[in-house]
């Protein structure tokens, strides 16, 4: 687990250097960050909007926002958490637009609305505000190191237990246990049911 934590810390240092370059208009730094995260961001978005074309558009918008607004990164979380936070709010905005279109009797296709997600859903689609997302991200960072990586991969990036097991080189039943315990700690710390 120490190796995973060291790898995450090194990745974040690299990401912060890239973001500093992006702030100065360095296109190569932007391309490096884009190559590192675009696929993961697009998969994250697709899991929330269930529409491949919309997911591509939102993922593109996320990186456009990073290019234009890199200076808004305050450094209070990891760069990856910041990117997925932007993606999360882009998803919420897109889904709100679709709901508004539905109320206007324009029939949207191929998208699941956040309101339809049952309480047993997993992931950040149940987070309703930037403040709440930041609170959860902060609390994930405070989890014991053996829960931190699985919590981020499961609750922020939306990976399955098997995907997390493959990525971290641990057994899926260990992932399930750690995710369950991480959720329990987050519920106690955040003071509400979250990501059941």
Domain that holds residue 189: 118-196
**165 near 174, Cβ under 8 Å?**
yes
- Residues 105 and 130 reside in one and the same domain: no
Terminal CA-CA length for the chain: 24
pLDDT digits (tens, 9 = 90+) for 127-166: 555 566 667 777 777 888 778 888 877 877 777 888 888 7
Q: 5 falls in which pLDDT band (50, 70, 90)?
A: confident
64-68, 177-181, 182-186: which is most confident:
64-68
Domain count, the chain: 2
pLDDT score, position 134: 66
- Residues 106 and 147 reside in one and the same domain: no
Listed residues 97, 116, 135: the one ending a domain: 116
- Residues 84 and 141 reside in one and the same domain: no
The owner of tokens 């047993």 is 120
Q: Is 34 a member of any domain?
A: yes
Listed residues 116, 143, 160: the one ending a domain: 116
We report the CATH number of the domain holding residue 37 as 1.10.1740.10
**49 near 94, Cβ under 8 Å?**
yes
Q: Is 27 a member of any domain?
A: yes
pLDDT digits (tens, 9 = 90+) for 83-115: 988 998 888 888 888 777 666 544 333 333 333
Q: Is 10 a member of any domain?
A: no
Q: Is 2 a member of any domain?
A: no
**110 near 145, Cβ under 8 Å?**
no
Closest to 115 (Cα-Cα) out of 130, 128, 101, 131:
128
Residue 4 has pLDDT above 70, yes or no: yes
Listed residues 57, 89, 116: the one ending a domain: 116
- Residues 169 and 149 reside in one and the same domain: yes
We report the CATH number of the domain holding residue 151 as 1.10.10.10
pLDDT score, position 125: 38
pLDDT digits (tens, 9 = 90+) for 43-98: 989 888 888 898 999 999 999 999 998 988 888 888 998 998 899 888 888 888 87
């Amino acid at each position: 687990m120490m190796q995973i934590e060291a790898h995450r810390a090194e990745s974040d240092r690299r990401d912060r250097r890239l973001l500093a370059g992006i702030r100065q208009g360095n296109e190569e730094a932007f391309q490096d960050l884009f190559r590192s995260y675009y696929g993961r961001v697009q998969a994250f978005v697709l899991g929330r909007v269930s529409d491949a074309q919309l997911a591509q558009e939102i993922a593109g918008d996320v990186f456009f926002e990073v290019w234009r607004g890199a200076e808004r990164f305050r450094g209070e979380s990891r760069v990856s958490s910041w990117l997925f936070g932007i993606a999360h709010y882009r998803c919420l905005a897109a889904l709100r637009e679709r709901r508004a279109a539905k109320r206007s009797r324009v029939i949207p296709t191929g998208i699941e609305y956040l309101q339809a997600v049952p309480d047993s859903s997993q992931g950040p689609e149940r987070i309703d505000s930037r403040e709440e997302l930041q609170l959860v991200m902060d609390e994930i960072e405070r989890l014991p190191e053996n829960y931190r990586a699985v919590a981020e991969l499961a609750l922020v990036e939306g990976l399955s237990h098997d995907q997390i097991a493959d990525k971290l080189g641990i057994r899926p039943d260990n992932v399930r246990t750690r995710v369950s315990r991480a959720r329990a700690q987050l519920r106690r710390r955040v003071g509400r049911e979250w990501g059941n």
